[in-house]
Amino acid sequence: MTVPPVELDDLADPAAGFPQATREQWRTLAAEVLRRSGWDGSPGEAEAALTTTTYDGVAVAPLYDAADLPAAPRPARAPGPWDVRQRHADPDPAVTREAIHADLENGVTSLWLDLNAIDPAALPAVLDGVLLDLAPVVLDAGPRTAEAAEAFLRLAVEGAAGNLGADPIGLAARTGAAVDTGAAVALARRCAVDHPGLRAITVDALPYHDAGGADAEELGCSVATGVAYLRALTGAGLTAEQAFGQLEFRYAATADQFLTIAKLRAARRLWARVAEVVGGPGAQLQHAVTSSAMMTVRDPWVNMLRTTVACFAAGVGGADAVTVQPFDACLGLPDAFARRIARNTQALLVEEANVARVADPAGGSWYVERLSDDLAGRAWEWFREIERAGGMAAALERLVPERLAATRAGRADNLAHRRDPITGVSEFPDLKERPVSRRPGPGLAATSGGAPGGGLPVTRYAEEFEALRDLADAQPSRPTVFLATIGPVAAHTARAAFAANLFAAGGVATVTSGPGTDPAAIAAAFRDCGTPVACLCSSDRLYGEHAAAVAAALREAGARTIWLAGKGEYEGVDATLYAGCDALGVLRATFDDLGVDR
């Protein structure tokens, strides 16, 4: 068989021969689909109807094309493996030393030591046997930074690399302490002169993320903090090049992969703009850490999925170093298996998926490019607002806490209504899950001085639901709601499953009446259940035929509260629950009806 030669021109346009689709055609088709759900609008309005908005007010459209590409430059990290950085916070020096050696022998390339938990005086024992010229060390000591830095510098050998972790503004954000940059500046001067491989200062944006802040708020706070440090360093005599070389930036990576990718790309662009104005090198050294706020205590195994997506996004976004939080980090000190999974997540992405082989893998994506540009614009506006307030230290007194509180309130509302679902907690909870326990220890969000005392709050998205689960578990018997399933299985299954899922999110079990429409039989099953709360579950058609009669029978049988899964008003029904309802409100009301003391 002879294969005819292929001309290069034949491969120039793989879409050649296919009709050109237009944005107007897409809008027309989208409008047709929307109308099936009751939407009544023109094709020109379809795109707006499907557009969502981030917590920063950035619009995320359903469709992008080449016209959405911004003209701004896109600084990218050079291709190659990123730094796999593992965090250690076990106060036992021997245990930490053993864990460090296990990590370094199995793919970890740098260490992050929480010296709020580990005594800085134990550093010689903790780092015994570690080749400091090969394995960079990043310190996080909060109020003990000067002490920890001195202990490390006594161990430092020629070629030692890493970061001493001075961050007085970040410490103030976490704890409410006064900002004093003197010690950080002194360490930066020493590093610039005597330890060229070491940086002295970390610009930690995690406090703003952990306080419920949005991505542009995290970016703006980090840029404002970096500029404050540049002023302090150059004011103390360092050149602009030396000052830029002393800073490393730390950002949160979340399971929203596109926002994480865009955030890291936007951060490099913002810092390049600062460098352009100041006249220094524009490269930003980035350390991405998988978010503490997104982690759960309940069903912690799902955290592996969250951190895998976050790690992928951090790598694609161009982070220079990545820390994957072990899946059990919210429960206490991670065990060896959890640390292994954390480091292997990165090994798979780097060595097998080859994510690190491409410079800026998202570059050219119409969606990511537009999102990065919009996010950078919002962050720059926020940075300028902070500067007008007197800089980051002054803004921490009122402006930043108030702004983050507003975002936190909006996020809390979305979490309560399950518009931001949490798998394993607010969605698909397992009341039979076996609890996971770990030795007590500091969580990742508690670094840089521990729990705030006058500083920004430390939040987790799942904590409100998990608090109700804990309360339900503490009762002598499991709180229970009766599901009056009206009609055949096919008619009530969907809404019964929805209601059971919602109640389980608060630790409340459900029992069903089984198929049938006889009010007396359903009421008899309700009496046998022994709960004062019931919920009707069926189709809209069967509600119209039987809801009032069933509700009356349940009321006569002693029902204190009668819910209905769905929407609409029916005689005898107290309230409804539906997709988008206030799930936390439903659960708290149910606890009150069941006599559970909150």
pLDDT, one tens digit per residue, over 465-517 is 999 999 999 999 999 999 999 999 999 999 999 999 999 999 999 999 999 99
User: How far is 387 from 91, CA to CA, in rounded Å?
Assistant: 39
Going by C-alpha positions, the residue among 303, 227, 304, 222 that lies closest to residue 263 is 222
Write out the two tokens for 576: 């409804």
Nearest alpha-carbon partner for 197 in 145, 246, 148, 126: 246
Task: Flag whether pLDDT at 271 surpasses 60.
Answer: yes
Chain segment 435-463, per-residue pLDDT in tens: 898 988 776 554 444 444 589 999 999 99
541-573 per-position pLDDT tens digit: 999 999 999 999 999 999 999 999 999 999 999
Tens digit of each residue's pLDDT (9 = 90 or more) over 361-398:
999 999 999 999 999 999 999 999 999 999 999 999 99
How sure is the predictor about 137, in pLDDT bands with cuts at 50, 70 and 90? very high
Residue 452 is predicted with a pLDDT of: 45
User: What integer pLDDT is reported at residue 251 of this predicted model?
Assistant: 98
Residue 58: what residue type?
Answer: V
Question: Rounded CA gap, 31 and 594, in Å?
Answer: 46
pLDDT in tens, 65-100: 988 998 876 777 778 899 999 999 999 999 999 999
Query: Which residue carries 């990511």 as its tokens?
Result: 368
Report phi then psi at 450, rounded to 5.
Answer: 80, -160
Please say if the pLDDT value at position 15 is more than 70: no
Q: Average pLDDT in the 154-172 region?
A: 94
Model pLDDT for residues 45-69, shown as the tens digit of each residue: 999 999 999 999 999 999 999 889 9
Task: List pLDDT tens digits, range 309-363.
Answer: 999 999 999 999 999 999 999 999 999 999 999 999 999 999 999 999 988 999 9
Which helix (H) or strand (E) segment holds residue 125: the answer is: helix 123-126
pLDDT > 70 fraction of the chain, expressed in percent and rounded: 95
Question: What pTM, to 2 d.p., does this model score?
Answer: 0.93
Q: What is the pLDDT of residues 214-269, one digit of tens each?
A: 999 999 999 999 999 999 999 999 999 999 999 999 999 999 999 999 999 999 99
Is the torsion defined by CA of 211, 212, 217, 222 positive or negative? Answer: positive
Tokens 């709960």 sit at which residue? 531
* Non-local CB neighbours of 160 within 8 Å, separated by 6+ positions: 132, 133, 136, 137, 195, 197, 198
Compute the distance between CA of residue 327 and CA of residue 324 in angstroms, rounded to an integer. 9
Distance CA 570, CA 539 (A): 13
**Across the chain, which distance is largest between two alpha carbons, in Å?**
86
Q: How far apart are CA 408 and CA 341, in angstroms?
A: 31
In whole numbers, what is the pLDDT of the chain averaged over residues?
Answer: 93
Could you tell me the CA-to-CA distances from 499 to 168, 267, 430, 465, 468 in Å, in that order? 48, 43, 14, 16, 17
Note whether 418 and 461 are within 8 A (CB). no
Q: How large is the average pLDDT for residues 399-410?
A: 97
Q: Which of 159, 168, 155, 161 is nearest to 129 (CA)?
A: 155
In whole angstroms, what is the distance from residue 385 CA to residue 109 CA?
38
Residues forming a β-bridge with 272: none
Instruction: Quote the CA–CA distance of 251 and 216 in Å, as a whole number.
Output: 11
The tens digit of pLDDT for each residue in 515-544 reads 999 999 999 999 999 999 999 999 999 999
